[in-house]
Structure 1
């Protein structure tokens, strides 16, 4: 079974990269464009720290989604998520479950993995290598 499932690993990497890019893109859209309405980001301005993070999430989330410049983009996003955890969550409580930082930690380490593994076979990076 291990040999059968392991054949799909590169495609699962591409799917994971796509979904993480989509998650980060939605946070950027919510912070900058206030969509969907009524989110926790209604009072975020572009010049604030969450607004700057939203700009990075919007642009780099889109790049991650299509798999362009995947390794450096994922590395920057990993650092952004680490900063988000330490600046926005860690001071509230010690445990991530209590301080609301679980998603930031998960995104940090998933992006770190993507930075080391690359974008997978279904990515703009892979398409550019073929040419």
Structure 2
């Protein structure tokens, strides 16, 4: 393995993971703000306590936490599950193929969030700052998990 490859993996992979986390969270956050806050303008506002309203609440709170990188693993796992349920309830009955049933974004979000649940939030996250503040290195935190 080349020294440059090692540097790319150890330095840039956690940073790019953080960029992926932040961008996916901000994009998902728009779905929550649209459902609950009518921003950007929505076709309809779900009523409380509908399933659609709860999906918006999960997207709003989860998207915010994920953008900050706070409680990344459990939040990403929850969002991954929510997107899987959304796909199978709202999209899959229309067609087998995600491109035909409009569910390709839900599938992509689901797997991105599953990756984040396993890999963590990357180097630019509040979780990372909390680990450093507690005097734990990421390696020590991983060995305790």
Q: 1:82 aligns with which of 84, 92, 103?
A: 84
- What pairs with 1:77-116 in structure 2 (closer than 5 Å)? 77-116=79-118
Q: Write out per-residue CA displacement over residues 78-115 of structure 1, whole angstroms, 9 at most, x where no aligned residue.
A: 00000000001000011110000000000000000000
Q: TM-score, normalised by structure 2?
A: 0.84
SS of residue matched to 1:120: coil
Gaps spanning 5+ residues in structure 1: where?
none
CA distance in 2, matches of 1:21, 1:43: 21
Alignment pair present for 1:66 and 2:68: yes
Q: Report the alpha carbon displacement of residue 44 of structure 1 after superposing the two structures with TM.
A: 2.0
SS of residue matched to 2:128: helix
Q: Report the alpha carbon displacement of residue 53 of structure 1 after superposing the two structures with TM.
A: 0.3
Structure with max Cα Rg: 2
CA distance in 1, matches of 2:37, 2:113: 24
Aligned residues: 129
Over aligned residues, Cα RMSD in angstroms?
A: 1.4
Q: 2:32 aligns with which of 12, 15, 28?
A: 28
Structure of higher RCO (CA pairs closer than 8 Å, 6+ residues apart) = 1
